[in-house]
Amino acid sequence: MGKRGKKYRKVKELVDTTKKYQLDEAIDTVLKTHYAKFDESVDIAINLGVDPRKADQNIRGSVNLPHGTGRTVRVLAFAKGEKAKEAQEAGADYVGAEELIEKIKEGWLDFDKVVATPDMMGQVGKIGRILGPRGLMPNAKTGTVTFDIGKAVKDIKGGKVDFRVDRAGVVHMPIGRVSFGPEKLKENFSAVAETILRMKPASAKGTYVKGVALSTTMGPGIKLDPSELKNAAA
């Protein structure tokens, strides 16, 4: 890793790396470590005591953040007929079927999330090699393959975030922006905490939440006491 810049080193001094913070202090500290000129994202990383190689421990799902992520999400919906109209009325940015599939094959990827009705998945599967590696493939587990496509679009537009544990057993996701302030970030944190704890696999042994950290896009990580996840969920 290259040498860190002066601004980063300055805000790093605000963080006690030997300490595991309580939630209120962690959020106050993470906001103080914001130094970029843009509205930085506030992200959470949760280290779980799971083995992602086991199917029942490969945690994957979604959470509806009460205050959203602060980011405008462009939604593409694969649907036909009345379901296409439903997706459009719900706020989908792009709605279609075969014509959009052909456009994607040609290299078009100007969207952030994809939803589809189940009857479209046979055709959407043809571009799985394009969408899959980019995390864009619709999936029933995250609610993006559904006949209730209007709700799926509204949820995403309203702040729904998909997540999946990585090979190291860590879940990463945004919980808002620096501009949100402490209260909105805490409420989004609580929604994440409740969802992650609810998804604990029955087969996972030992400590489930091994570590939690918050950071801004450009700032240093701030470690929380893992019990804060349980406290926030309650």
Q: List, for residues 54-97, the tens digit of each pLDDT value.
A: 999 999 888 999 999 998 899 999 999 999 999 999 999 999 99
Query: Do residue 43 and residue 85 come from a single domain?
Result: no
Last residue of a domain, one of 138, 157, 176: 157
CA distance 195 to 211: 16
Residue 4's pLDDT band (boundaries 50, 70, 90)?
A: confident
The pLDDT of residue 17 is above 60 = yes
Both 88 and 125 in a single domain? yes
Res 2: pLDDT: 55
Which residue segment(s) compose the domain that 170 sits in?
16-69+160-233
- Tens digit of each residue's pLDDT (9 = 90 or more) over 92-150: 999 999 999 999 999 999 999 999 999 999 999 999 999 999 989 999 988 899 999 99
Task: State the average pLDDT over residues 150-163.
Answer: 91
Residue 159: pLDDT band by 50, 70, 90 thresholds? confident
Q: How far apart are CA 84 and CA 92, in angstroms?
A: 9
Which of 157, 185, 208 is the last residue before a domain boundary? 157
- Give the β-pairing of 41-48 and 170-177: antiparallel
Report the distance separating Cα 34 and Cα 27, nearest Å.
11
We report the CATH number of the domain holding residue 46 as: 3.30.190.20
Provide the pairing of β-strand 160-164 with 170-177.
Answer: unpaired
Q: Determine the residue type at 119.
A: D
Whether 217 and 199 share a structural domain: yes
In the 8-state DSSP scheme, what is residue 119?
Answer: G
pLDDT at 144 (0 to 100): 94
> Which is higher by pLDDT, 160 or 150?
150
Beta-bridged to residue 209, according to DSSP, are 48
Asked whether residue 7 is assigned to any structural domain, the reply reads no
Tell me what the mean pLDDT of segment 158-185 comes to.
Answer: 94
Average pLDDT over residues 208-230: 95
Q: Please name which of 164, 163, 172 lies closest in space to residue 43, comparing C-alpha atoms.
A: 172
Q: Is residue 4 part of a domain?
A: no
**Residue 159 exposed, middle or buried by CB count within 10 Å (0-12, 13-18, 19+):** buried
Is the whole model's pTM more than 0.95, yes or no? no
Task: Single out the residue in 157, 191, 224 at which a domain terminates.
Answer: 157
Question: 179, 175, 172: which is closest to 34 by C-alpha?
Answer: 179
DSSP E strand boundaries for the chain? 41-48, 60-64, 75-78, 94-96, 113-116, 160-164, 170-177, 209-216, 222-224
Please state the domain count of the chain: 2
Answer whether residue 184 is part of any domain.
yes
